[in-house]
Chain A
């Protein structure tokens, strides 16, 4: 295709034409899934179910969108799931103790962000590989949360606060608005701002980035802080939606979040990926679960079906990338 004619491999800069082509291929997998499900069951293609899928995808997206920036720099944040756990439990405690959802929300966001800054400092200043730094952080957070909660749950929050997770505005769930907001903000930040472009550049070639005068350390701290803060956002929406906090709530979410980013076309080596791609990745993972539930796929087959669809979606994407 002539659209992508001027692109040389490994260029960190973003060219919309190439992006567009890849996005079409990426959406192809999600689109095929939707078509297949629409044919298979009447319950799939209804306004209710589409909103249902979007709302379910939002939690995963919040977590994965911050993580996308980290992966763009060639790093990894394994602590996001554990981060949700601690942020949610502290936020819940504050809401219960003060009766103020605003203070609780602030606590959740601040906790998430502070954890992210710690990760960033370890990676940027102490030069600890991100996998190890955030893996260590995962255990520290689990340890703190389990100790603090001692196997208990905190539940029952004010109805006003619960609107964040379970409310509607003009017939559309609030978390869907939040997701669209973060999707736009994240895309603009990554593609249209100097800082965003610097993040791509760091991932594509950290040495070159340093030599061209990009403040690499500060940008690294920034992306981990974003990742932590988004885990904080997820923790608040989680609380508002589930009406309950327990120590292990984020545990099962780390791997799906990483998977959403990678299904969305990001590379673990950095420099490649987009927030929109991650949105599609989160959507595909959510669609798989939704489809299996609607079709009542036997529980014995569900892990296998999930695996096959994920591999198939990424394979489609690879074909797309070779073509462009």
Chain B
């Protein structure tokens, strides 16, 4: 790779109590690429994602984003970074149940200080992009699982983040809905040039990536480049 990686983890160690979750894990994410983090459950892939996103701070090692050491930043600075540069999609339960789908999508923009009107306008466009305009004024509880995940994807992309972290984004969906979510997600991410870190145990979902890294026992075992 000739270009500098956008996001790197070097030699991360992290234990929860006496249980080691990460044991010298290293990985690189380049701008605009889609990286699948694979591995059996309990292998540490979600923990690695949380460290890369600055949600967790490793016990040792460095996480560097665009030249800044995330582990050295104050919690508030990392929060600000997550608001402006990162997006997140989780398996389920991530939408605020009281807000409409439209307001959920607008939420990150509003957290970033955008006006309500402007945020809602952008959110509308993103719901359309992900083909879920019809649930805009419904609450998440009234939308189907697939629609909910597409709303979540719209919310992750609405701030035009540099990196989107997706933790089993199709884990709670059937194949058909899962495929559709991934198609729309990947296409939209490529359009905006966002890199995607995708944690999944499903090879068919991983097949939407550019390449994969396999996490086993808190270590990154393999990373293949296929360009």
A binds B: no
Residues of A participating in the B interface, judged by any CB pair closer than 8 Å: none
Contact residues of B with A, CB < 8 Å? none
